[in-house]
Structure 1
Amino acid sequence: MFNQLVDKHLCELIKQQIDLQEYFDSNLPNYEILDQSYPSQHHDEKELIEGITLDHPKDIHEMYEELIGSKLKDQKTADGSIVSIEYHLIILPVTLQNNPKQLMKVLSETERPEYFENKVIQTIINFKWNEYTKRFYEFGFYIYLIFMTSFIFDIFYSTYATQSNCDEKDDVVGQSNTEILRPNIWIKISNKIICSGILIYFLVYEIKQVKVQGKDYFKDGWNYFDFLHIVSFTIYCILDFIDVDQDILILVKIMVIVLSFMKLLFFLRIYDGFSFLVQMMAGVFKDLKYFLIFFLIFILQFGMIFLVLFKAQGIEEYNGVNKLAYFLMAFRISSGDFQLDDYHSQNDGLVLFTWMIWLIAVMALNIVFMNFIIAVISESYERVMQKLVAESYRVKANMIVEREQLFKDSDLTCKDYFPNYIVVRRPLNTESNEGGEWQGFIKDLKYSLQ
């Protein structure tokens, strides 16, 4: 009765940030199947997560062959090894089937990473991910790889084909014959057609998302990158076929390149190994925001000091950015790149003071701040590693929500996608493999304290 009560209100409890750790750790939502028809040892260590629609949970005891046995290898392994197997039934029929989209939605919005660290939620997410989410994003990823291949070829071809080919004339010294090589127009057009066709596919997808999500669409930063990518590539296609200042075209190309690789990072989150790296990079930049502001204040301070000391004299190295020359000088000091040629040109009374300021700048910007940034990044890395598994499941939950929002009514009633029970078969003691040694250490420590 208690499990039925919690099952009916599970989404609301998660939404209210209620601590459900003891409930998920209990046998109420996670029933261990102990039956002679379910072998506890087997030579096939494959993990299986299967959805099933049952009238009563006890019916699962008669369905081993249909659910699991037919999907396992019959032949023994070469070394004859046998592994211990456990079977569990997730008993949340109302949550899984009656309101199928709500669970992932509240999980994606929760601020408690602990929800993603229990086996029940992980099993549900893995089932939805493997059943209908991963293939969907992989299909988009493979299509996008075609775009990237064509786009990269277009960038290399257009850049090298428009290089100036300078040949010295034999009879005139110091003169050169410059021939501008024009790229083949049909190659340019074919590349643009391929890339544009693929981006139209993604544009249709983005429009569908806007219709479904409404204002919530603009809460996800990845969506801004997607739209900017499409807009910038459209501008690039137009400018590439008209007579326009090459500097403008170069800037647009750079923007398209950056946004194209941002889109690639989005798709790389499909795979667990890359998902961790993308999340770590995002977490590091998020943690560094206040440090970077503080660092820029010091750059501004020392830049203004050098500007006054050198009386805003022009520096040849910084032609084109003369107004920022002394701020760039301060930044170079912070990175250990010192430029000291102009120090001797100071008046006798200011030379000593200039060197004192330089020493202070080296101490503050190079020695202190560079060690600060190493410490901040190390701390951020440790924090991400501690939440590695939880964050990876959060990413999957967000992508599942995005996928489920585009489902039709017929999809929402599909029992293959939304069964009322989930069966999981897995080898015993696999926790350490899921999150690496560090994550396993954190889990062991947490359970020991409990």
Structure 2
Amino acid sequence: MTRQMHLAAFMNAGPMGTTGWRHKDADPGFMTAAYYKKAARILEAARFDLAFIPDALSVPRSLGGSFRPAVEWGSGTPRIDPMTVLGVMAGVTEHLGLAATISTGYHEPYNLARTLGTFDHMTEGRAGWNIVTSFQDAEAQNFGQDKLPPREERYARAEEVLQATTQLWDSWDDEVIFQDKDSGHFGHPDRVRSVDFVGAHVKTQGPLGVPRPPQGYPLLIQAGASPRGRDFAARWADVVFSSAESMESAASFHADIKARAKAHGRDPDQVKILTAATVVVGQTDAEAMAKHEAFAELVHPLAGLSRLAYHVNVDLTKYDLDGPLPTLEEVGVQGHYEEVVEFAQRENLTVREIGRWYGARSEGNMIGSPMTIADNMERWMDAGASDGFMVQATHLPGAFEEFADFVVPELQRRGLHRTEYTGRTARETLGLERPKRDEWKNRAASAKA
């Protein structure tokens, strides 16, 4: 019997992708609260587990060393503060998990613990943190560095940030405050402790000024694809996002993360792997394909290359655009690069052709009628390629509306997706246990030097 499917929604705090803003049905109001409120209501009505907002701390300069392409084509900019946007979404929902991308490279543990701990309290346990190490030199240059540190150094800092941040959340026991007005005693000081974390990259004393979050730790999310990233995700993450060009590569990733989690002493079922799925739905398969092809026609090759250069942190204009993509030794987002290489080699694409494809790529091959999409999703899960899907919208709010109106009922009819929420917190919705105090020790104990 097929397991219940978990669904996360991938949506920018800004225009969607490179071409989503050009879609005839796209709402241009991404700088308004109403835009995000509407999306949140759609997702909660469809019983999604989670809404997830990616982020980066710069206007990309990866194509030609200039921010002009990003502004001209709308690739990777604007990016407004995801925590503010999620606060707006929280106000019109009660169950939807709400996750923001926040970099370990340019935030300190105390700020992270305080912001996310507060948000978890304000949402009664619906906060999530997508942990990234940053992937663009332009981000480094906004924080006093000339270049992004090497991958190993970024992950070494991330390891310390996670250990320090979780210790700050654990600096309070669950039952500290009792507010006895008659005696004047507010809380139990013996149930709060200092942290005194000292690492090579970060240092914090604690205790945190926020009581322990309702979830223990807010939902921890990661998308590492490099060997170091996978190991980090297998130890720390509750949810892992993956991006794959084929079901076979997704299944390989799924098996690898589960095996790594088990090797680190974790229950593999407590690590949920959600695969990217760009869904285009029509009444028939032919209608859906026509919609996808019309959307792809909106992509200018340079716009797609601007988006790809942003993701891989490599200036692609220094290569022959009418030749094959050369091997790139050091890239920003490893998962996206591997996806591109797999597809480009199979289809024998030039760099220019890759740009056009990448601007409207359809991850997961989820194009078709509601029945076809449900069939494909069920097939991926049965093949061990996924525990659910990160549904990526081509445009907002229409893509989510169509998925909610047509695909979700078919998934529910098959018993693959819930008809009502049964949990209260994001962890409960995903079937994840609440971490006990000092759980960080177990997740940090097997860290590689």
Q: Same fold (TM over 0.5)?
A: no
What interval of TM-score do these two structures reach, taking the shorter chain for normalisation? under 0.3
Q: TM-score, normalised by structure 2?
A: 0.22
Return the TM-score normalized by structure 1: 0.22
**Structure with greater proportional helix content:** 1
Q: Name the larger-Rg structure.
A: 1
* Structure with more of its chain in strand, by fraction: 2
